[in-house]
Amino acid sequence: MLQANSCRSCAIRHTGICSGCGANDLRLLEKARYIRSYDAGQPIAWCGDRMEFVASVMHGSVSLSQTMKDGRNQMVGLLMPPSFLGQPGQESSPYDVVAVDYTVLCCFCRNQFGDLMKEFPHLTDRLLEMSLRELDAARQWLLVLGCKLAREKTASFLAVLASREAVAKALPRTRRIAFDLTISREAIAACLGLTMETVSRQITALKNDGIIQLKSARRIVVPDVNRLLREAGDVPAAPDEGDRAISAIA
């Protein structure tokens, strides 16, 4: 898992920060990169720590969160492949960064990556694209936190995961979709601005109403994503429409 396979066969070769690179550029990137892996729950950086690197998330997922003095905390980003972690111009991490899953990062020394961006403008272009996408996702998430009820928040969260799964497996979005929750109820609560107990109650309620099924506490089946989206307070996307709601949260 950890070994440095060739960039050419990398899972995010055509979707990550490097997707605009030709074969030659890629060789230079490959020389500069190094792989790091983290176990589930392992911290990558605490808020204020110096960030030595920026990285692509190759596998797993990484949470960005903020904590207040009294312990209240809010997840503000959930990065999954092929998201990019860190900002070239940013000395220290503004967030607590934690590996949620077993996670593999493709890292670049931060300053060196800045130089690479100068050398290969398409890296800058791509980072801009990805950042604007993240920005839209964060703004979608603001709607969830600011306006929605607990049931709608929970449904929104599950809909995001279901839609992601559908995209990953190239399933039609109307078909039954099954996936694993890789994060605890508590982490979901931190995403949604709720408590663990409320999340648990809402998941149970959605199950009782037949919107979802629970194979186990962490295994979810969604018979009809559009029904789930309706519970989330979202207008189900037309079949052929590029779905924006899906991008929310991550």
Partner DNA sequence: CGCAGAATTGATACATCTCAAGCTGGGTGG
Partner DNA sequence: CCACCCAGCTTGAGATGTATCAATTCTGCG
Does 40 bind DNA (CB under 7 A)? Our answer is: no
Q: Which of 194, 225, 228, 248 binds DNA (CB under 7 A)?
A: 194
Binding mask 117-156 vs DNA (x if CB under 7 A, - otherwise)? --------------------------------xxx-----
| Interface positions with its own copies (CB under 8 A) | 64, 66, 68-70, 72-74, 76-77, 87, 89-90, 94-95, 121, 124-125, 127-129, 131-132, 134-136, 138-143, 145-148, 192-193, 233, 235, 244
Q: How far is the CB of 117 from its own copies (least distance, A)?
A: 8
Binding mask 174-193 vs DNA (x if CB under 7 A, - otherwise)? -------x--xxx------x
185 binds, among DNA, its own copies, none (CB under 5 to 8 A by kind): DNA
Angle at alpha carbon of residue 30, lines to 49 and 125, rounded to 5°: 70
94 binds, among DNA, its own copies, none (CB under 5 to 8 A by kind): its own copies
Does 73 bind DNA (CB under 7 A)? Our answer is: no
Which DSSP category does 237 fall into?
P
Question: Could you tell me if 247 and 137 are in contact, meaning their C-beta atoms sit under 8 angstroms apart?
Answer: yes
Cα distance between residue 109 and residue 106, in whole Å? 10
Long-range contacts for 228-236 (Cβ within 8 Å, ≥24 apart)?
228/155, 228/158, 228/159, 228/162, 229/155, 229/159, 231/151, 231/152, 231/155, 231/206, 232/148, 232/152, 232/155, 232/156, 232/159, 233/147, 233/148, 233/149, 233/152, 233/155, 233/156, 234/156, 234/159
Select 36 or 201, whichever has its Cβ closest to DNA: 201
- Sign of the CA dihedral 83, 110, 43, 58? positive
Task: Give the interface with DNA as residue ranges (CB under 7 A).
Answer: 149-151, 181, 184-186, 193-201, 203-204, 214, 216-218
